[in-house]
Structure 1
Amino acid sequence: PLNLEWTFGFNRKVPSINLTDGTRNIILYAGAHVALLYDYKRNQQKILQGHGNSITCMACSEDKRWVATGDKGPGSCVILWDTYTGIPVQTIFGIHDESGVVALAMSTDAKYIVTVSATTPQTVSIWDWTESVEQPIFSTEINPRWNLQTFVTFHPNDNQQFVTNSDSQVVFYSWAFQESGTLKHHAPFLSDSVFNRAIGLFSQTVFQVGLGTTPSGRALTATSLGNIVVWNPERGNGRKGGVVGSHQKRALKLVRVKDRALTCITCTDDLIVTGDTLGHVRFYDNQLNLVNWYQNLKIRVVTGVSFQYNPDFRLDRIPEINKYPEDATIQAKTFAVNDFIVSTKSAEVVHVEADGSKVTNILKEHDSAVHAIAASPTKPWICIGSYSGILKVWDYSTKEVVVTRLFQNKAKIQCIAYNHNGLQLAVGMTTGLVVILDAISLDEEVSFHYACDVITHCLFSHNSRYLATADGHHTTTVFIFGSDNEWKYLGRYKAHYDIIQDLSFGIDLDSNQPRLLTLGKDRVLVEYDLQGSSKDDLRLLSVERIEQSALPLCITWYPPVTKESFLVVGNDQYKMKLFNTTTKMCRKTLLGPTYGSPAKLMSIVPTPPSGDPSIHRLLTYATNDKIGLQLLPLDGNPHRSASMIAHPNGVSRLACSNDGRFVFTAGGVDSTVHMWSVNATSLSSVAALGGEGLIPFYGLLEGGREGEMFGELENYFYFAQLRSQGINTTDERETSNVVQLDQVPFLMRALGFYPSEQEIEDMLNEVKFSKYVDTGEYVTNINLADFIKLYVNHRPAFGLSPDEITEAFNVLATRTDDSEASVDRSTLLSVLQRKGEHMTEHELAECLTTLLGFNPEGGFDVDDVINYDTVNKDLEDSLPEFVTADIFANEMLGLHLYDATH
């Protein structure tokens, strides 16, 4: 149903890899949980999907054919890819006991990979990925005193040697496949006192090549003070030239090569290459003499340098007509190297063509969190804003940048919105500033600064007469487009005492005037009287509390797929509720998507230009880390919804293209925006495979249609018919396939769902008014099929949780130590009678005497004269003086939610 078409932005913390090899012009970079093969000549992406967490590291073989990608987090893995086909050829699941990897490297011959775990104490493992990968060949644990090892690389001439380093310790390793035993490693000591000067923090380490064919040569480590540490092999005691171990090394000397921090180091042919915080790339020979440098790249902190693969590249094969620069030696020889790319900390990738020293920007993206996206209502444009102060508009049909603007002082952009004709763009900043721009040129037209906290939401009305914003101080601000064609401030109102979760404009069907609503974490839905408001006097039309215990998360206007006009609200209990737009009555409660977390963002997908707006409608939603699609109308059928991972670190914003073909998601801290194509036909097919009628709902019952629960449900349903006719009556019984509505609460409780009085009222209203719009009559009974749907949609999505009872006792308890939370008996009885949906003394006595066994059949006639003194005495004798959560759940309610050890 949703297919990832394109990714805007990338992970600047993972250096890009140059996969250009003479037959293609491709680089590899990471964007959230996917890797991207980008042909920068043709402007084409091939997306490598397979990870469930954000990619933390990548490595490639020398011939650029094979690539390894790794992540960290739950379900972490390392995947090996064929870069020519984009197909994964090997996957190592659950790597390092699900901790994932923070660094990995691939041997020159592409046969082995080495991984470094992400948790402390770290583990280093060698894998032969061409064979079985259930277990590594060798593993060793790293001493935690050496700090977190974040970099690893193989020796280019010997795949049985590799090195890792943290910011304070370099560790050398050696292994032999033929030998049994553990992986050998050596961590040579080095401090400022060794060379009597400051060394700095280590960044990266490489093995030096070009000193002969011996694999046990030198290693070089770049530091934050512009130094390079030269590591030399240890020599044997008394053995002339005898090598103690290829992995045993000592610091030979410290060479100062730059006055700025060196952020990366690598090798190409017999040259040593460094990148630094000034954006310079410098080349040294094997004696660390400066040979050449590139300092006009117009970039900042370098994170990686990667060269294209060209095994036939030699100086004597260079054409006579060339523009290679001269090196820095006295002889001024031609300095010829392979073309390379440079990755930076500021989310840039530049390509350097050595022949002519031509520099080309391949990527220049947001280097801070992206929380603001909006799609133009008239053009194939997507506008992206970030905390780096960059506002960039893309043409998502051609994948080209239309216009870019950098705000002064790197103002952090939190939200953006287009007006109805796509000619204006509103931008909300974290400082409370609201700026209205020309959407074509991004030139500023007017700005307002009435809020003193972050602007969390901004939205234009359908006719662009109003612009509404919500800020971090729970205040709504409205601006009006006056008759003089200028935007003016209308008013502000703090109608919520908690965070404003969502803001939505609708249309009054009678007058075609805008309607503004805000939804708060305080469980209140507020509608504003826009027509009755004036300058500095923003008025309210209604304030409705729409939830009891659940927290509402998002709201949108239901499309015209029904005769009645609805608002749809998603809450944190995995429910979607439909409210009448006029009365604000809850008309329907439906089971929402249950993919790890509730839907926190949602939007109606626009209909294509040729589509019918009343049929085949779709709703797109986002959970914490997933993007989903839902067929309308909503009915609680789980097969009518589908989702997939969008941003493992969280989805921060959602937008739809004007033609309904694409959905865009912003990943917040991962600085990326994904573009998803919508395939409604696929989702319809999935829904059809799930079955028709009641079949999908049977699957939501424990055991299904043939299970024990369904049998109980049928028995309760028919017993309710007897109950409504009177248990002890001698009249002739009448059987039917329906029960009266007043029996619904008893049926729900018998099935283990204990609704509040408000929830009962919502259920009864849902059935009672279900046909009112069509027939003008109330429904007074319910059949078995409708009752099953009502039950699975209203009951808790994941059943009763002991955590809810524990949390309630934590709130009510007055403890002062670390003991288990408890409430004294009198306080508990008082709370039950005075707080929330309080119980009367009669109701409380009936419930407790029934639960505790004094009146096992239950029920007190209202006309009965109850001796409360006797009842209270019995309760005091049966209830402990202090009641804990497990006593309340297990002994009083008999729910047995807690195990014996608790």
Structure 2
Amino acid sequence: MTTTNNQPERFDTLQRLELESTIGFEGKVPHGLKLHPDRTHMVYPIGCNLVIENLQTRQQEFLLGHNNNISSVAISNNGKYIASGQATYMGFKADIIIWDYATREPYARLVLHKVKIEDLVFTCSDRFLISLGGQDDGAIIVWNIETKEPVCGSAAQHKSAGITYCLAASKQDECQFFSGGNGTLRFWQLDIANRKIRATDINTGIVKRIVKCMTVSLDGTILYCGTTSGDILMIYIPATQFKCIGPEKKKYSMGITTIQALINGDVLIGTGEGKIHIAEKETFKSLKSAQAMGEITSIALRGEGHMIFIGTDRSHIYKINYADWKMELINTCHNSPINDIAFPFGTSELFGTCGFQDIRIWHAPTGNELLRISEANKTCNSICFSRDGKMILSGWDDGRIRAFYPETGREMFSINDAHNRGVTAIAITNDCRRIVSGGGEGMIRIWQINPNSRELLATMKEHKNAIVCIRINKSDTECVTASLDGTCIIWNLKRFARNQVLFENTLFHCVAYHPEEYHIVTGGSDRKIGYWESTNGAQIRELEASKSGTINGLDIDNSGNYFVTVSADKLVKFWRYNEGDVISVGIGHGSEVKKVKICPNSQHIISVSADGSIFRWKFPKSTI
């Protein structure tokens, strides 16, 4: 008999999963990486979360309040407040949250802009916050920090001009600021008494540029504007007059994406090709440069610029010592969807993830990357560790099964043409002698691992679509495979034949054995969790696991008392197995959550998402 348990989508009464640490950095947010004035903390976005990380201890704190991806970040000059704006959906309002840095709590929530917050900046006195809406909004609004109310607003540009991309505040006058974009460059004057802002267009003559970033010199007299054509506009602020453009000959390749004035008058420039330059203050010629991986989207200075932190769109954070100009990578993660996650048998200290071009091995307590295995322009769809810990096994979209040594990442062996539409799922038996692989064409193949060769033992073809998940029982006598054709099949690994078929009107995305192996649990596109008898394939329970998103992954703890699910609605849900109810919810992912694993010692939960971030949640204490 099938029973249905409908879970409420409101989580006000439910316990929140405690987010312990994250691995990741949303590098695509322009100017998203910030250094706090206290010089010991770094602030950056990951999905819906704002992370405050201690530079010495690497300890992280999280500001949770946004319900969609953060699109802009600003820190007040005195360090008292952090402002963050988000992107949302067409027709919806985009929130700005001002956070109290001391308490790590929201100070104000400002709601007027639509769809996206393009940029934020505090005035020099920190009395006002200026916000810029995206292309669907096109407004500049000035907010009073003390009253938490808007002072005034205006359209950011003429109707004939293009999109406005960036803001900069005057260093000396709290009522002056600047905006730049596609064919628009403006000086703004705030009239507090009359609650108005008045714009003056800065005339650049025949020079027409798209301004993507701005900075004001430390003496407050010069406005530097970085352009997509790789040159810099220099504006003399006291006269609001265009002064010059440079460099004259050699432009910066792929445009200037971020810019920062230095105390000695020189300018720090980040480019689309991933180079950071020190540009000479008059001619803008490059004095020094360093190469990073990916487009540079953020530059943050520590103190007076003796230490430089840069962020790239490949989710890398680098540190540069200004004195010796040495670059060090301090933070990294996947910058594309993570397709799978696996723990070595009995080990909670390490785990592996895979995605486009690479496999990475992480140290769970610190979040440090220990090993990276790269294959250019190929995507790893599935990963697992052999039970003896001597092999990392992986399935790739080029149809190959690749095995690597876990100590060095060197390739142990490769099985070519294992599946003609890519290897989409892979597992290895507990005795480490056989590999079970699934492909995009729906075939299941069994491979014998010999000392010097790999032998195809059997091909089982009953699925009509891609295999997404394979699980093998403890005795290596059977396995269950989940497919996008709406079936899960239990196979006999001795006879290489089907034992049972589970049919459902869904695209299955995940499957798992209960530790006692009397049940099989499934999840898929119908947003439901199914419990099935492993002996006869009968469904015994069905739970509604999400109101809006496909169930992408699930995992059951070693005791069999709890399980965890993740879905396209960005939520991580922690369930009691027998009761079939949600007892904790993890909120914070900024995009679709792809996979989840409970670590072997049942102390933590690791979830990975489509934006490349990895979240480490604390296993609820009351359940241990």
With normalisation by structure 1, the TM-score equals: 0.61
- 1:411 partner SS: strand
**Where does 1:533-552 land on structure 2 (aligned, <5 Å)?**
533=496, 540-542=497-499, 544=501, 546-547=503-504, 549-552=505-508
Letter in 2 for 1:647: H
2:244 and 2:56 mapped to 1: Cα distance? 44
Does residue 154 (structure 1) correspond to residue 153 (structure 2)? The answer is: no
Matching residue of 2:482: 519
Structure 2: stretches of 5+ with no match in the other structure: 1-15
How far has the Cα of 1:651 moved from its partner? 0.8
- Pairing partner for 1:78 from 96, 100, 119: 96
- Pairing partner for 1:479 from 433, 447, 464: 447
Letter in 2 for 1:569: T
- Pairing partner for 1:274 from 269, 277, 294: 269
How far has the Cα of 1:580 moved from its partner? 1.6
Alpha-carbon distance change, 41 to 123 in structure 1, aligned in 2, over 3 angstroms:
same
- 1:463 partner SS: coil
Q: Cα deviations across residues 707-745 of structure 1 (Å, max 9, x unaligned)?
A: xxxxxxxxxxxxxxxxxxxxxxxxxxxxxxxxxxxxxxx
- Pairing partner for 1:556 from 496, 503, 512: 512
How far has the Cα of 1:296 moved from its partner? 4.1
Alpha-carbon distance change, 647 to 472 in structure 1, aligned in 2, over 3 angstroms:
farther
Alpha-carbon distance change, 366 to 575 in structure 1, aligned in 2, over 3 angstroms:
closer
Matching residue of 1:361: 329
Matching residue of 1:500: 467
Q: Cα deviations across residues 480-519 of structure 1 (Å, max 9, x unaligned)?
A: 334x475433344442223434332224xxxx33312222
2:189 and 2:251 mapped to 1: Cα distance? 34
Letter in 1 for 2:426: C
Q: Cα deviations across residues 438-479 of structure 1 (Å, max 9, x unaligned)?
A: 222222111123223343322223333332233333333332
How far has the Cα of 1:544 moved from its partner? 2.7
2:228 and 2:203 mapped to 1: Cα distance? 18
Matching residue of 2:520: 567
Asked if the contact 2:509/2:552 (under 8 Å) is kept, the reply is yes
- Pairing partner for 1:91 from 108, 130, 134: 108
Q: Larger C-alpha radius of gyration, 1 or 2?
A: 1
- Pairing partner for 2:399 from 424, 432, 454: 432
Asked if the contact 1:69/1:80 (under 8 Å) is kept, the reply is yes
- 1:179 partner SS: coil
Asked if the contact 1:415/1:458 (under 8 Å) is kept, the reply is yes
**Where does 1:274-313 land on structure 2 (aligned, <5 Å)?**
274-276=269-271, 277=273, 279-285=275-281, 287-288=282-283, 293-296=287-290, 301-309=295-303
Alpha-carbon distance change, 435 to 259 in structure 1, aligned in 2, over 3 angstroms:
same
Alpha-carbon distance change, 404 to 569 in structure 1, aligned in 2, over 3 angstroms:
closer
- The structure richer in strand per residue is 2
Matching residue of 1:111: 127
Matching residue of 2:9: none
Alpha-carbon distance change, 423 to 567 in structure 1, aligned in 2, over 3 angstroms:
same
Asked if the contact 1:165/1:202 (under 8 Å) is kept, the reply is yes
Letter in 2 for 1:592: E
Alpha-carbon distance change, 83 to 354 in structure 1, aligned in 2, over 3 angstroms:
farther
How far has the Cα of 1:224 moved from its partner? 3.0
- 1:351 partner SS: strand
Alpha-carbon distance change, 40 to 427 in structure 1, aligned in 2, over 3 angstroms:
farther
- 1:532 partner SS: coil
Asked if the contact 1:116/1:122 (under 8 Å) is kept, the reply is yes
**Where does 1:835-846 land on structure 2 (aligned, <5 Å)?**
none
Does residue 630 (structure 1) correspond to residue 575 (structure 2)? The answer is: yes
Alpha-carbon distance change, 227 to 463 in structure 1, aligned in 2, over 3 angstroms:
same
How far has the Cα of 1:628 moved from its partner? 0.9
Asked if the contact 1:95/1:101 (under 8 Å) is kept, the reply is no
Alpha-carbon distance change, 147 to 531 in structure 1, aligned in 2, over 3 angstroms:
farther
Alpha-carbon distance change, 498 to 93 in structure 1, aligned in 2, over 3 angstroms:
farther
Alpha-carbon distance change, 91 to 415 in structure 1, aligned in 2, over 3 angstroms:
farther
Matching residue of 2:3: none
Structure 1: stretches of 5+ with no match in the other structure: 212-216, 235-242, 244-248, 311-336, 534-539, 607-612, 685-902
2:291 and 2:173 mapped to 1: Cα distance? 34
2:422 and 2:209 mapped to 1: Cα distance? 39
Report 1 or 2 for greater relative contact order, CA contacts < 8 Å, sequence distance ≥ 6: 2
- Pairing partner for 1:666 from 598, 608, 616: 608
How far has the Cα of 1:104 moved from its partner? 1.5
Matching residue of 2:7: none
Asked if the contact 1:16/1:27 (under 8 Å) is kept, the reply is no
- Pairing partner for 2:536 from 563, 571, 583: 583
How far has the Cα of 1:631 moved from its partner? 0.7
Asked if the contact 1:220/1:230 (under 8 Å) is kept, the reply is yes
2:465 and 2:188 mapped to 1: Cα distance? 56
Alpha-carbon distance change, 401 to 104 in structure 1, aligned in 2, over 3 angstroms:
same
1:167 and 1:476 mapped to 2: Cα distance? 54
**Where does 1:63-212 land on structure 2 (aligned, <5 Å)?**
63-73=78-88, 76-85=94-103, 87-97=104-114, 99-133=115-149, 135=150, 137-140=152-155, 142-143=157-158, 145-181=160-196, 183-188=197-202, 194-195=206-207, 201-210=210-219
Matching residue of 2:12: none
Does residue 650 (structure 1) correspond to residue 623 (structure 2)? The answer is: no
- Pairing partner for 1:9 from 24, 36, 40: 24
Asked if the contact 1:376/1:422 (under 8 Å) is kept, the reply is yes
Aligned length: 597
Q: Percent identity?
A: 14
How far has the Cα of 1:661 moved from its partner? 1.3
Q: Cα deviations across residues 213-232 of structure 1 (Å, max 9, x unaligned)?
A: xxxx5433222333212335
2:473 and 2:78 mapped to 1: Cα distance? 58
1:532 and 1:505 mapped to 2: Cα distance? 15
Letter in 1 for 2:603: R
Alpha-carbon distance change, 305 to 525 in structure 1, aligned in 2, over 3 angstroms:
closer
Q: Cα deviations across residues 319-341 of structure 1 (Å, max 9, x unaligned)?
A: xxxxxxxxxxxxxxxxxx53222
Does residue 396 (structure 1) correspond to residue 396 (structure 2)? The answer is: no
2:328 and 2:322 mapped to 1: Cα distance? 11
1:131 and 1:491 mapped to 2: Cα distance? 72
Matching residue of 2:390: 423
1:618 and 1:120 mapped to 2: Cα distance? 45
Alpha-carbon distance change, 170 to 452 in structure 1, aligned in 2, over 3 angstroms:
farther
**Where does 1:241-252 land on structure 2 (aligned, <5 Å)?**
249=240, 251-252=242-243
Asked if the contact 1:125/1:138 (under 8 Å) is kept, the reply is yes
Alpha-carbon distance change, 440 to 57 in structure 1, aligned in 2, over 3 angstroms:
same
- Pairing partner for 2:544 from 564, 585, 592: 592
Asked if the contact 2:18/2:586 (under 8 Å) is kept, the reply is no
1:123 and 1:632 mapped to 2: Cα distance? 50
How far has the Cα of 1:186 moved from its partner? 4.1
How far has the Cα of 1:252 moved from its partner? 4.2
2:315 and 2:200 mapped to 1: Cα distance? 35
Does residue 224 (structure 1) correspond to residue 180 (structure 2)? The answer is: no
1:366 and 1:502 mapped to 2: Cα distance? 22
1:471 and 1:95 mapped to 2: Cα distance? 49
Asked if the contact 1:104/1:113 (under 8 Å) is kept, the reply is yes
Matching residue of 1:255: 246
Asked if the contact 2:46/2:590 (under 8 Å) is kept, the reply is no
Q: Cα deviations across residues 193-247 of structure 1 (Å, max 9, x unaligned)?
A: x15xxx6543212334536xxxxx543322233321233569xxxxxxxx7xxxx
Query: Which aligned segments of 4 or more residues in structure 1 are displaced greater than 6 angstroms?
Result: none
Asked if the contact 2:86/2:116 (under 8 Å) is kept, the reply is yes
2:344 and 2:490 mapped to 1: Cα distance? 26
- 2:473 partner SS: strand
